[in-house]
Structure 1
Amino acid sequence: MKRLDKFLGDQGIGTRKEIKDYVKNGVVKVNGIVAKKPDMHIDEENDEVVFMGQILVYEKFRYYMLNKPADVVSATKDGKSITVLNLLKNENVKGLSPVGRLDKDTEGLLILTDDGGLIHSLLSPTKHVDKEYEVHLEHEISSSDIKKLEEGVDIGDIKKSGEKDITLPAKCRLGEKDEKGRSVIYLTLHEGRFHQVKRMLEAVGNKVEYLKRVRMGAVILDSNLDFGEYRRLTLEEIESLKNN
């Protein structure tokens, strides 16, 4: 059971004062009856709540896929830049957080949810969830450099023991050259270190010119989404993330 005003607030209807006024003005119905008190208790999973003629559907958690454009920050708040939450137009973004971060200049797949358990699971270092990136390079890349990336490279990290912290083995495949004639690889990582893709390519004497995440776990970036567009994850996609 949940208070009506709390339920409406979780739906992004308004502030507590605004919700109180809505109830007072008779625009909220519960099971076809006009609600009289904002603090009345409802069964959020079974009662039908209607606000201004619109049925409000209870969701325990929300899951979105966003095709993040460059120059957008993977954060919930930022005083200077547009954040990924700003791109979810007309959505209730209360409680939503990005699952991990993409650099400001990095584009592609970003998952946003208010399911804290799933976020923790996907970001846990012990889970080794796949993250695949499309990487456009400054220079040609050799088969020997691809082998180095797959075996693990030294990107300057040090373990607590004082030993070099080599990256975990990755997967790397060569793609078609881009429209500018640059080499393209698809690099799959199983960890999430700071600027890891860029630092790994620097470790083999190359430089990332363009970076885009195309997959996380079994969820692939929807090719129908333009930069800045988003959609809800399907039930199959949500289950695949939970079963990683």
Structure 2
Amino acid sequence: MRSSSGRNSSGNNGGSRGGNSGGRGGSGGGRGNPRGAGNARDDKQRDDKQGGASRPKRPRPEERRYDVGPDATQAGPKTGRGASARGGAKGGPKRGQQSSQTRGRWVPATSREYEARAEERNRERYAGKAKLNLPKTFPGAEQEGERLQKVLARAGYGSRRACEELVEQARVEVNGEIVLEQGMRVDTEKDVIKVDGLTVATQSYQFFVLNKPAGVVSTMEDNEGRQCLGDYTNNRETRLFHVGRLDTETEGVILLTNHGELAHRLTHPKYGVKKVYLAHIVGPIPRDLGKQLKDGIQLEDGYAKADHFRVVEQTGKNYLVEVTLHEGRKHIVRRMLAEAGFPVDKLVRVAFGPITLGDQKSGWLRRLSNTEVGMLMKEVDL
């Protein structure tokens, strides 16, 4: 009897311990036996198999529906896709075909014809009213012209701040009066602007100097196909023309520009712009050769006088002489020296007014600086 009761008591104790352990497993979230009765994952799977209503089932993406259309209710949609699709997504409603939702109420979409008619009515409504004079957005906008520092900066005198410093230093004048205040407005078509006494080319003028090689014809186009000045300027957008001429075998400075008035004055005898030539002749030469040239040499088309003459270099019988004159007749230097008894072997024009050849190589074309342009204009009172 004792042994059987002992076994029963031990069996009961074991069963209670098993139940307690099972409860601990359920309360501990499955820390015990993963197959115990307290496993939450097993409970969920069991509820799903039995069709339990412990939590609502989430529909699959392909089974979802969205409330679109006037027949949709809060309980469930009828057909179509949601409001998020109206931004142009595939399957969304198109403008003018379906309705749109605005702040909880359904408003039919407006058609393009309706909007066009509304816009036309608004135009007719305000057609007869006077135009309002709105205030200017910046001071000085009612003034005409362009700010002086902007014009100078575009002409190449530096940044606008640098041009303002030129004004502060009283180096800029407009129409003969020195500018003392910043922000002055000028008309580039009418006003004459000068910096340090030199006129500023404010318009779209271009000025170049070419070191013409021997054998180049002083024309922009040549019907015979010879090399000409136009071959050095064919990549320019603006048409240029040459100032004066040099004969085919003469080298040196020749100016190219699109400023007609400047080109006319530079070649007019009234302004007497001087040109400097270097000529190679064979001597010996008399001491009074310079006096003969300055007094005048009789040519077939009248007297020709040199403004200055000097010997630059002598090597045996070879002389390099400099001749300065302001006339521009054809072959004037060659004819004068030949008439004096010294034919010219080689002739180079090294200066045209204030523009000098310097170290510019033969055949090179360079743009004149603003200072050089100003000096040219000053030479002819522009």
TM-score relative to the length of structure 1: 0.69
Decide which of 85, 108, 111 is 2:230's aligned counterpart.
85
> Higher strand share goes to which structure?
1
Q: How does 1:1-244 map to 2 (within 5 A)?
A: 60-80=204-224, 81-88=226-233, 90-92=235-237, 94-157=238-301, 165-177=302-314, 182-223=318-359, 225-244=360-379
Could you tell which deviates more after superposition, 99-108 or 181-190?
181-190
1:59-86 per-position Cα deviation (integer Å, ceiling 9, x unaligned): 5210001010011011111022111120
> Higher helix share goes to which structure?
2
How many angstroms apart in 2 are the aligned matches of 1:233 and 1:222? 13
* CA deviation after TM superposition for structure 1 residue 140, in Å: 2.7
* CA deviation after TM superposition for structure 1 residue 138, in Å: 2.9
* CA deviation after TM superposition for structure 1 residue 88, in Å: 3.2
Cross-structure match for 2:17: none
Cross-structure match for 2:25: none
1:177-228 per-position Cα deviation (integer Å, ceiling 9, x unaligned): 36x86201110011111110011001211100000000011111131x2111
How many angstroms apart in 2 are the aligned matches of 1:174 and 1:237? 28
How many angstroms apart in 1 are the aligned matches of 2:284 and 2:234? 40
CA contact (8 A) 1:173 1:186 kept: yes
Which secondary structure state, in structure 1, belongs to the residue aligned with residue 313 of structure 2?
Answer: coil
How many angstroms apart in 2 are the aligned matches of 1:88 and 1:95? 8
* Unmatched 5+ stretches in structure 1: 1-44, 47-57, 158-164
* Unmatched 5+ stretches in structure 2: 1-149, 152-201
Which secondary structure state, in structure 2, belongs to the residue aligned with residue 60 of structure 1?
Answer: coil
| Identity over aligned pairs, percent | 34
Cα RMSD for the two superposed structures? 2.1
For residue 78 of structure 1, what is the amino acid of its counterpart? D
For residue 209 of structure 1, what is the amino acid of its counterpart? D
For residue 337 of structure 2, what is the amino acid of its counterpart? L
How many angstroms apart in 1 are the aligned matches of 2:221 and 2:243? 15
Aligned residues: 180
CA contact (8 A) 2:353 2:376 kept: yes
CA contact (8 A) 1:64 1:231 kept: yes
How many angstroms apart in 1 are the aligned matches of 2:259 and 2:286? 42
CA contact (8 A) 2:208 2:255 kept: yes
How many angstroms apart in 2 are the aligned matches of 1:204 and 1:222? 29
CA contact (8 A) 1:151 1:170 kept: no
Which secondary structure state, in structure 2, belongs to the residue aligned with residue 103 of structure 1?
Answer: coil
How many angstroms apart in 2 are the aligned matches of 1:141 and 1:117? 41
* CA deviation after TM superposition for structure 1 residue 234, in Å: 0.7
**Which is bigger in relative contact order (C-alpha 8 A, separation at least 6)?**
1
* CA deviation after TM superposition for structure 1 residue 91, in Å: 3.0
TM-score relative to the length of structure 2: 0.45
1:23-59 per-position Cα deviation (integer Å, ceiling 9, x unaligned): xxxxxxxxxxxxxxxxxxxxxx99xxxxxxxxxxx95
